Structure 1
Amino acid sequence: MPTSTAILSLLRDWMPGQRWYAGKGRQPVLRAVGDWTVPGCEVPVHVHLLLDEAASPPTLYQVPVTERPEPLASAGPAFIGELDQGGRSVYLYDGPHDPAFARALLHLLMRGQEAGGHGMEVRGVSLLGDTGLVIRSSKVHSGEQSNTSIVYEVARSDAPADREPARVVCKLFRAVHHGENPDVILQSALAEAGSTHVPRSIGSIVGEWDDPGRPDGRAEGHLAFAQEFLSNMEDGWELALRLAAAGEDFSGAAFALGGATAEIHATLARVMPSRPPTAGDIAETIASWRRRLATAVAEVPALAGQRDIIEDVYERAATLTWPRLQRIHGDYHLGQVLVGRDGRWVALDFEGEPLRPMDERSEPDFATRDIAGMLRSFDYVAGSQGNTDAATGWALAARGAFLDGYADTSTTDVRGYRELLDAFELDKALYEAVYEARNRPAWLPIPVGAVERLVARARAGER
């Protein structure tokens, strides 16, 4: 059903409990922007576009809602609420958890179908064409924070019934934006260029909706993205934790990860726009570092004594040679990569840093930012082990091997940018300090310790 006052009321109570809702501890103030109907769905479904005006700036969310005449078994937190419709009950569910919606969504994408509704137009963009895939099952991937991914078991229509089906994953973007989503654009560009370090792209769903703030009154952006689901691969963070806890060396894997990262950067620089940085680019980057530093010192008073030397690091960075600007991952860490049994690394989730506006995430950036992010991730592994001497040594070895692997594959010796890399890592650690202070105070010593280490290196003049 279209977005009604009753549905808005139910969603207002239900959304704060969802992991993808960014306004934790806050009641949303919702305004309906539009909705669209998924064709071919076995049950009524409307995908609602809702502007949460309690956020600053307001956030636009996508919420598919299926309608069932009877309760859906094992729905759990996917149950939104119950409405009375002409004397009969209608049960409302979050679409990705309803197999009927999940099937119709992937069919729309694979078949390049079009859909519409109130103030919205939607189209599927298939990169493979209609391959006659049969959807055997679907399940929401657990653990995701900002979006909702549906994993499908699929098989070709002419395949034997007993053949093990392949897997496809379709990510439904919860917070949607005007403009191209870098997760779709970058992974598709890498896959098309023949990179083996991303999954194969299958297609996307693009929507248009009313937006009075835009010159033509309309906005357009990605609503969903599908790609192959890679089985028999291990999450990089889980692997690193397991090896660190067992005291096993990670250097070989880190070296290979460094090489894969360099290959990803090189491919993006080749197939996407890149350019030399201007003085303005460098000045704006350093200004953003200083804004982050001010916020960190205000929220984590223990950092106040480090402020002067950090400012000196930033002053020094302004005089250094900076690499070219290019498209990057933007939120790179061990939780964003998978490794296969053959040692091949694959990167996922190219959306960029969640707190940055989408238009900023779609601009060329410095690859040094990705390198710094992965270095910070090794420190987090050590921190999770209690920062013992053994864990610290494990992280130092992994950091060195990662940089060696990157330099071995790249035409750019990242160690030649050591001071600049330290500045980027400082900025990332300050970002982490603010996040941990707000969300996980017990983890705050990890980024604070990194700041202290980097400051000590700067003070001693080590390069």
Structure 2
Amino acid sequence: MKHASAGTGIDLTPAIDGWVGAQRWFAGKAHSPVLRSIGQWALPTDEAGVRIACHLVLDTASRFSTLYQLPLTERTAPLPESSALIAQTVGRDGLPRYVYDAPHDPVYAAALLRFITSAASLSSDDPGGVTARGELLRAGMGPDDSTPYSVTASRVISGEQSNTSIVLDVADEAGRPGRPVICKVFRVVAAGSNPDVSVQSALAGAGSRFVPEPIGAVSGEWTNPLSAARHSGHLVFAQEFLPGVDDAWRVALAAAAAGDDFSIPAHALGVATAAVHRDLDRVFPTVASTPDVINQLCLTMRERYRLAAREVPELAAHREAIEAVFARAKAAPWPRLQRIHGDYHLGQVLDVPGRGWVLIDFEGEPLRPLAERSLPDIPLRDVAGMLRSFDYVGATIAMRDPAAAPAAIEWAMTARAAFLLGYHAGDGDSQAGTAHAGQEALLAAFELDKAVYESIYEIRNRPTWLPIPLRAVRRLAQDAHAAAHSPG
């Protein structure tokens, strides 16, 4: 296979296709990738015997022509005890070379942070080549903005599905540790500003205390061989790392398992969510909910239900009630559309001691096109996502111990109510978070839409979990039926 990078820097090996196909962040699970490099940018390093090349590769076997980022390190000597080896090749000198997935290589981590904090720029001699630019989003990494920091250790966070995040421990010239950094390497690359960078940076710039502090980013520019057009987008995002903290899912799950009341934390989470929505309403443009916009959003929900009922026959039993929920939402008053989180659940919130709840991962649903994830939407979509997350906590406990099911379901309902009260209390005068004021019909529709989406996911990936979203669909359908037949 001939790659666009052949003869410049590191040539990709045939082993790359198989390795990429086995990664959790590879989006084409139904096929084997056939990759073609459209170019690379070389990350500078002074480390002897190491070269770093960050390739952009097109999956030509995907009908979506997905573009991936593959940072690779080529070493003359192997890394000790590393499982990130992709291939062993032979260099032009006839000696062995070892090619690694670069995020697992400490040399790459140090070079990447240095590239970002120095706001460096790399241009290609080829007008159609890949270029990269480091962007510093805050002046320094220490208490005084002039303190230079170096990386003392790095590690990759396990379990991520759509990106690769590297935690970097840093120290100043005197060896004093600084605040750790986390660099998120975007694996699927798309043209445009990644909302994880733009949204979080805008919130931090607005003074929000509910998001981590951004440090910097890497932007790239490349030519799409399918259209010969020049594109640009984010490749990496660096922000402060909050060590030793649990996400809200683990905190809530532990509380539910112990039978501890979660009303106060859930209320505080509602307040934090409303505050973030209020800031997003202030720093990004909003869009009027015109009849065309409302019709399109309601049509999308109906279409998702129609397709889901084909895969999940149990959904068809509630067709009339579900249609009634969507009809009530269409007739309800709609707020203006604004930027939202887009993939909001308990796993996207950290419990930071002395600071409270901190929201992370504003990238939106990774499988949706980037252009869609950046569109204004209804804040109640985030609210509905969090309500479904509380339901999953209760259902998880009930699956572990059926005898605990009644208490677990009651725990979830109490947490949901406290979250909504906090969200309403933190709403202020903004229309960004009116979860109660005449918008119950809207919230019910978005929660139902989320449960329908979950039912598709569960039957495809975790069939034994399917009863969880089906229980929510049944409850929401019953509520709709009761509302339709209540006096007055």
**What TM-score comes out, normalization by structure 1 length?**
0.95
| Matching of residue 70 in structure 1 with residue 77 in structure 2 | yes
SS at match of 1:326: coil
The question of whether the paired residues in 1 share the 8 Å contact of 2:37 and 2:56 is answered with yes
The question of whether the paired residues in 1 share the 8 Å contact of 2:4 and 2:38 is answered with no
SS at match of 1:230: coil
Alignment of 1:105-120 (within 5 A): 105-117=112-124, 119-120=129-130
- What is the match of residue 122 of structure 1? 132
Structure 2 residue identity aligned to 1:384? T
CA distance in 2, matches of 1:355, 1:295: 18
SS at match of 1:427: helix
Query: Which among 178, 200, 224 is matched to residue 211 of structure 1?
Result: 224
CA distance in 2, matches of 1:429, 1:49: 36
- What is the match of residue 443 of structure 1? 465
Which deviations, in whole Å up to 9, do the C-alpha atoms of 1:269-307 show, x marking residues without a partner?
011111321111111111111221122111111111112
CA distance in 2, matches of 1:59, 1:41: 33
| Matching of residue 415 in structure 1 with residue 436 in structure 2 | yes
SS at match of 2:188: coil
SS at match of 2:131: strand
The question of whether the paired residues in 2 share the 8 Å contact of 1:51 and 1:61 is answered with yes
The question of whether the paired residues in 2 share the 8 Å contact of 1:173 and 1:223 is answered with yes
- What is the match of residue 202 of structure 1? 215
CA distance in 1, matches of 2:154, 2:216: 17
| Matching of residue 395 in structure 1 with residue 412 in structure 2 | yes
Q: CA deviation at 1:372?
A: 0.4
CA distance in 2, matches of 1:245, 1:403: 22
| Matching of residue 257 in structure 1 with residue 264 in structure 2 | no
Comparing 229-238 and 377-386, the one that deviates more: 229-238
Structure 2 residue identity aligned to 1:438? R
Q: CA deviation at 1:90?
A: 1.0
The question of whether the paired residues in 2 share the 8 Å contact of 1:212 and 1:218 is answered with no
CA distance in 2, matches of 1:116, 1:94: 23
Which deviations, in whole Å up to 9, do the C-alpha atoms of 1:154-180 show, x marking residues without a partner?
1233xx43x443201111100010000
CA distance in 2, matches of 1:147, 1:450: 30
CA distance in 2, matches of 1:219, 1:68: 31
The question of whether the paired residues in 1 share the 8 Å contact of 2:206 and 2:279 is answered with yes
- What is the match of residue 402 of structure 2? none
CA distance in 2, matches of 1:2, 1:83: 19
Q: CA deviation at 1:58?
A: 2.1
Q: CA deviation at 1:8?
A: 4.8
| Matching of residue 269 in structure 1 with residue 285 in structure 2 | no
Alignment of 1:217-256 (within 5 A): 217-256=229-268
Structure 2 residue identity aligned to 1:148? T
Query: Which among 142, 165, 168 is matched to residue 149 of structure 1?
Result: 165
Query: Which among 184, 195, 198 is matched to residue 185 of structure 1?
Result: 198
Comparing 446-455 and 327-336, the one that deviates more: 446-455
Structure 1 residue identity aligned to 2:132? V
CA distance in 2, matches of 1:99, 1:140: 10
- What is the match of residue 91 of structure 2? 85
CA distance in 2, matches of 1:232, 1:75: 25
Q: CA deviation at 1:248?
A: 0.8
Structure 2 residue identity aligned to 1:183? D
CA distance in 1, matches of 2:32, 2:69: 17
The question of whether the paired residues in 2 share the 8 Å contact of 1:135 and 1:155 is answered with yes
Query: Which among 377, 385, 392 is matched to residue 389 of structure 2?
Result: 377
SS at match of 2:398: coil
Query: Which among 36, 48, 64 is matched to residue 57 of structure 1?
Result: 64
The question of whether the paired residues in 1 share the 8 Å contact of 2:4 and 2:37 is answered with no
**What TM-score comes out, normalization by structure 2 length?**
0.90
Cα distance change on mapping 1:41 and 1:399 into 2, 3 Å: farther
CA distance in 2, matches of 1:129, 1:39: 22
CA distance in 2, matches of 1:186, 1:366: 16
Percent identity between the two aligned chains:
49
SS at match of 2:181: strand
- What is the match of residue 29 of structure 1? 34
| Matching of residue 100 in structure 1 with residue 112 in structure 2 | no
SS at match of 1:207: strand
SS at match of 1:335: helix
| Matching of residue 328 in structure 1 with residue 344 in structure 2 | no
Cα distance change on mapping 1:92 and 1:2 into 2, 3 Å: farther
Structure 1 residue identity aligned to 2:134? G
CA distance in 1, matches of 2:247, 2:153: 23
Which deviations, in whole Å up to 9, do the C-alpha atoms of 1:329-369 show, x marking residues without a partner?
00000000001223611000001112221101111111010
Q: CA deviation at 1:312?
A: 1.8
Q: CA deviation at 1:213?
A: 5.2
- What is the match of residue 421 of structure 2? 404
Structure 2 residue identity aligned to 1:415? H
Cα distance change on mapping 1:56 and 1:385 into 2, 3 Å: farther
Q: CA deviation at 1:69?
A: 1.4
The question of whether the paired residues in 1 share the 8 Å contact of 2:38 and 2:225 is answered with no
The question of whether the paired residues in 1 share the 8 Å contact of 2:4 and 2:36 is answered with no
Which deviations, in whole Å up to 9, do the C-alpha atoms of 1:304-341 show, x marking residues without a partner?
11122211211221111011111000000000000122
Structure 1 residue runs without a partner (length 5+): none
SS at match of 2:180: strand
Which deviations, in whole Å up to 9, do the C-alpha atoms of 1:27-47 show, x marking residues without a partner?
112122211100235211111
The question of whether the paired residues in 2 share the 8 Å contact of 1:66 and 1:95 is answered with yes
Q: CA deviation at 1:445?
A: 1.1
Structure 1 residue identity aligned to 2:447? E
CA distance in 2, matches of 1:24, 1:275: 36
Q: CA deviation at 1:81?
A: 0.9
Structure 1 residue identity aligned to 2:133? R
- What is the match of residue 13 of structure 1? 18
CA distance in 1, matches of 2:445, 2:287: 21
Q: CA deviation at 1:56?
A: 3.3
The question of whether the paired residues in 1 share the 8 Å contact of 2:149 and 2:178 is answered with no
CA distance in 1, matches of 2:251, 2:42: 41
The question of whether the paired residues in 1 share the 8 Å contact of 2:68 and 2:187 is answered with yes
The question of whether the paired residues in 2 share the 8 Å contact of 1:41 and 1:101 is answered with no
Structure 2 residue runs without a partner (length 5+): 141-145, 400-404
Which deviations, in whole Å up to 9, do the C-alpha atoms of 1:186-234 show, x marking residues without a partner?
00000011100001111110000002556x7101000001111112432
Structure 2 residue identity aligned to 1:144? E
